[in-house]
Chain A
Amino acid sequence: MPHLYIHIPFCETKCIYCDFYSVESTDEKGRFLEALLWELEERAGEAGDTVFESVFLGGGTPSLLDAGQMERLMNTLRKHYRITPDAEVTTEANPGTTSLEKLRAYRELGINRISFGVQSFHDDDLKFLSRIHTADEARESIANAHEAGFDNINLDLMFSLPGQTPQRWKANLEEARQLETKHISCYSLTVENGTALATMVRNRAVTMPPNESDALLFERTMSTMAEWGFRQYEISNYALPGYECRHNLGYWRLADYLGFGPSAHGTWNEHRRWNVSNLRSYIEACERKELPIAGGEYLTREMRQEEFIYLRLRSEGINSIEYEARFGSDFYTDRGAQLQPLLAGELLIDREGTIKLSEKGILFADEICTRLA
C-alpha cells in the first residue's frame, strides 16, 4: 500500500549538520500552510481511489505547527486522500516545541507515532550540534508524549560526534531505553556538503572522529540493541517487534509514495518527481495555481533494479523470488558474477534465497552496494 509524505520546512535554527531543506524564519508559516493545502487538494486526482497506509510529517520541524494548523492539515488530508483507519501517522518533533497540550491535540487528530530529534542526552553535545533544546527538555517532551497517549515513540540519536566516548554514547542508548521508546534511530554523524559542519571541518575548527572509532561505535550500537531485544531492520533503525516504522519500510520496499511541500519527493508508477527546494518559489507557484514541480525522472528497469538492490541490502535483504516477480529475471543470473565473490568473502549471506549483509558486511554496505547494484 502506498504512503504519503509531507514536508514542513521550518526550523527555529538550522542544525550544523542538517542538509534537509528548511528556513529559519516562521514568518511565512500561514501562507505556506495555505499553499500546502492547495497542493494537497489539487493533486488528489493523482491518488484516485488508492488507500494509503501511512502519513509522515517530516521537516524541518512539523511540530512548529500549532494545534489549529495541524487540524486543518489533517482534515484536508483525510478529505482528499483515502487513509486506512489503522494507518501509521507520524510527525517529527523537536523537543522544546512540544507542550503537553500540543501533543494531546496532535494525538486527538489521529497522529499515533512521534519521532523526536533528541540526538543526545548531553547538553554539550546538543550545543555543539546547535540543537535548540536541552537534555532535560528532551526528557520532558518524551514524558509529555507518553502522557498524551503516544505509545509509538522514536528517538533519533547521533553517534561519532567529535570527542564522544563509547561510554557517553552507551549512556544515550540507555536513557532512551529507560524512557520506554519503542524505536531508536542511530545515525553516524555525517558531514554533508553545504552544511555549516562541512565548513567547520574544512577550516579545521572541527575534527571528525577517525573511521576506526566510528566503526567501533556502530558495532557496539548493534550489539547493545540486539541484547535489549531491538531488531536492526535497517542500517540505522532499531525497533521492538511490531514497532518498525511502516512509512520508512515503504521506501525500502520500493512502495509508491506521494510527497507534498517544498523539496518533497514522490514515486508513483515508476516515475519519480520532486518539488522545488525553495519556500518562496513553492508558495508563489501554488498561489499561481501551478504545481511546484522542480524535476522528475522515469525509473528504467535498470534504475529500479539498482534501487531495489541497495535499498533492500540496507534493510531486509534481497529476496530472489520477489526480485523475479518484480523484474521477470533471475537474480542469481543477473548478478551472479558480482554476487559470487561477495558471498565467498562472507560479506553477504544467502539464507534460503534471501541475500543479506553479513555482520561484517553491514560495515561495508556502501562498498557492497557499489559492487552488486
Chain B
Amino acid sequence: MDLIRNFCIIAHIDHGKSTLADRLLETTGTITERELKTAQVLDDMDLEQERGITIKLHAIQMKYKHTDGETYTLNLIDTPGHVDFSYEVSRSLNACEGAILVVDATQGIEAQTISNLYLAVEAGLEIIPVINKVDLQSAMVDQVSQGIMELIGCKKEEIIPVSAKEGTGVPDVLRAVVERVPPPVGDPNAPLQALIFDSVYDTYRGAVVYCRVMQGTMKQGDEIKFFSNKKEFEVEEVGILHMKKIKTGELTAGDVGFMIAGVKDVGDTNVGDTITHVKGAAEKPLPGYKEVKPMVFSGIYPTTSDDFEDLREALSKLRLNDSAINYVPESSAALGFGFRCGFLGLLHMEIVQERLEREFDLSIITTVPNVEYLVYLKNSGEEVIVDNPSDMPDPAEIDYIVEPYIKAQIITPSDYMGNIMKLCMDRRGEYINTTYLDPTRADVEFELPLAEIIFDFYDKLKSVSRGYASFDYNFHENRQTDLVKLDILLNGEPVDALSSIVHRTKAYEWGRRLCRKLKDLIPRQMYEVIIQAAIGNKVIARDVVKALRKNVTAKCYGGDISRKRKLLEKQKEGKKRMKQVGTIEVPQEAFLAVLSIDD
C-alpha cells in the first residue's frame, strides 16, 4: 500500500488539465505518443473535446519508477471541470489523497481554481501547486506564483513550473506526487467500504462501477450491496484501469479500479454511494453521500409529433449513461407531447440537447429553462413543487412562494467591479463580500436567485468584463420572494409553453420586452397576430404582428417551374418546423425568445 498514490488534477477550464494528464501518461509509458495522437485521452466524447470539458469521470493507472528504485502505482482520477458537476467532483476528490492544482501562468487564479481548491482542502488532500504554460511569452510566473502562495499558504519552492505542451517540468510533477502525496491508509481485512466515484453503462455488461476501496477487500464472486438502496448483487468482475480494463480478481484497501456486478440500471450505482459486503457489512457508509437533484428544468418536445416515441427512446438511452437526467412525459397545448426534463445545470441541459440532436438526429424544441419553486397554498397550507410555470396554482390560492438561491463566486480584474456589481444587482443579487487576491484582482461573493443565472448570465458576465471575469456557484438556500406567473397570449389564447415565472418588480419590463421580441420572431402571416403579456387577467404589455396582405409569386413560366417546385418543397419543410397555435404559425425560436432578450 505504501507504493500506491491516488491523486487527481484540478484546474480552471482551459488551464491545461487534459494536456498535463496526457503528459503524465506519456512520461510513465502508459501510452505512446503515437497512441496519444492529437486527441486528449481522458476526454473521449466528441462533445467533451469540443467544449474542452470532461463531462464524465474516468480513472487510469500508471507505473512509475521513482529515484528510490521502487516502482509506484499512480492512480489518476479525472474530475469534471464544470460547476454543474461540483458534487461529482467532490466525490472524485474523496477517492484521492492528493491533488495537483494547475494554474495557467497567463491567466492566474480563476473562480473554478478556488472552488475546486476548497473542495480539495475540505477532502483533506495534499495540494501540489503547478503553474502551467510557463513557456508562453505572456506568462506571469512571479505574479501568479504569488497568488498561489497567498491562496494555499505554500512556499515558492513548492510550486512546480510546467509546460504541459512542451513536457518541461512533468518529471518533477511525478516526483512530487510520490514524495508529497501520502500513501492510502486502510485495512484490507476490515469490513468492505468502497466509494463509487462514477459508473458508465455498457450494453453487454450493464453498469461498470468505478470505485476506490477505502477499507477491506472486494473479490470476484463476492455478494455485495449498495448502502443507499440496499440492492444486492454478485461481483462478476473486478480489476484495474489502464488504457483498458484489466481483470485482477480482487481490489483491496487503497486500490482504485472497476467493478461489474450485472447491475442493469446506472440509477442503482450512485456516485458517492458506498459498496459493502452483504455478509459482514460495514456498519456505516462513507460520509458525504447525497442524492443528485436536478436544479434546472425545461420541456423538450419533438418538432414533429410523430417523433415522440423516438425522443422517449433517445432519452432512455442517454439516461443509461447519465443518471442525472430526469424526465417525465408532459403535454403542452402549444407543443403537444414531450418531456419535462431536469438537469444539474444549464451546461448539462445544453449537453443533453446537443446529444439528442447530434447522436440521435432528432429535431427538438426546448422551452425556456426554469428552476423548481415551492409554492405554499393559503387554505390547506399544502406545499406544491412547481417545475413548470404552467403548473403554477391560481394566484388567489397562493400564500407564498420560495425559490432557490445560489452563492456565486466571481473573480474579476478590479476594473470591472462596477459592471459586475450592476449585473448582479440587476439579477436581484445580494452583495456579500469582496476579497482582493492581489491589488488588481477581486473575489466577489454574491447571493443570487438561481433563476436569474440559468440563462445568459454567464455570457453577460463575460461581456461586461471583456471575458476576464470567471464564475462559479453552489446552491445556497431556498428563499421566499415575490414571484408572479407571466403568461403570453396570442390572439387572446394563452400559450402555455411561453409562460414564465418572474419577480413582480421585473414583470412589466419583462413582459414588454418579451412581446417585442416575439413580434420580431413571429413572421407576418395571413392573419393579424396580437401578442399580449398578462399577469392573471391583467394585460401588462401588447404588440401586434400585422397581417400580410399579399404573398404571390409574380412570374411562373417554363424555366421557372422546377425552381418554383423546389422552393415550394422547402417552404413545406419550413412549415413543418413551425408550431401551429390556433391559426397562428409560431417558429421554434419563439419558444426560446426569453433567452435572447437584450437589455
Contact = CB atoms under 8 A, between A and B. Distances in A.
A187 B572 CA distance: 25
Q: Looking at B552, B553, B572, B575, which has the most chain A CB atoms within 10 Å of its CB?
A: B552
B550 A363 contact: yes
Given A187-B555, A188-B554, A363 B565 contact: no
A214 B557 contact: no
B562 to A, nearest CB: 6
A169 interface: no
Contacts of B548: 211, 364
B564 A188 contact: no
A272 B554 contact: no
B37 interface: no
A218 B554 CA distance: 11
Given A310-B568, A370-B575, A365 B559 contact: no
Contacts of B554: 187-190, 235-236
B561 A215 contact: no
A334 interface: no
Nearest to B524: A211
A86 interface: no
Given A187-B554, A369-B568, A211 B561 contact: no
A310 B561 CA distance: 10
Interface band, chain B:
20 to 34
A45 to B, nearest CB: 21
Interface in A164-214: 187-190, 211-212, 214
A5 B561 CA distance: 14
Nearest to B563: A265
A314 B561 CA distance: 12
A373 interface: yes
Interface string A284-323: 0000000000000100000100110011001000000000
A180 B327 CA distance: 73
Contact of A259 (B526, B556, B558, B571): B558
Interface in B366-405: none
B509 interface: no
A366 interface: yes
A105 B571 CA distance: 47
Contact of A367 (B551, B557, B558, B565): B551
Contact of B550 (A263, A265, A364, A373): A364
Contact of A265 (B526, B561, B569): B561
Contact of A251 (B525, B526, B549, B557): B557
Contacts of A307: 561, 565
A259 B562 CA distance: 14
Contact of B562 (A297, A365, A373): A297
A363 B568 contact: no
Interface string A1-28: 0000100000000000000100000000
Given A370-B568, A370-B572, A364 B552 contact: yes
A73 interface: no
Contacts of A265: 558-559, 561-562
A211 B550 contact: yes
B568 A259 contact: no
A327 to B, nearest CB: 16
A54 to B, nearest CB: 11
A331 interface: no
A366 B559 contact: no
A274 interface: yes
22 contacts: A187-B555, A188-B552, A188-B554, A190-B555, A211-B550, A212-B549, A215-B549, A215-B550, A216-B549, A236-B555, A251-B557, A252-B556, A264-B558, A264-B559, A265-B559, A363-B550, A363-B551, A364-B552, A366-B551, A370-B571, A371-B575, A373-B572
Interface of A: 5, 20, 187-190, 211-212, 214-216, 218, 235-236, 248, 251-252, 257, 259, 263-267, 272, 274, 297, 303, 306-307, 310-311, 314, 362-367, 369-371, 373
Given A235-B556, A265-B559, A370-B572, 19 more contacts: A211-B548, A218-B552, A235-B553, A236-B555, A248-B557, A259-B558, A265-B558, A265-B561, A297-B562, A306-B565, A306-B569, A310-B564, A310-B565, A311-B556, A363-B549, A366-B553, A367-B551, A370-B571, A371-B575
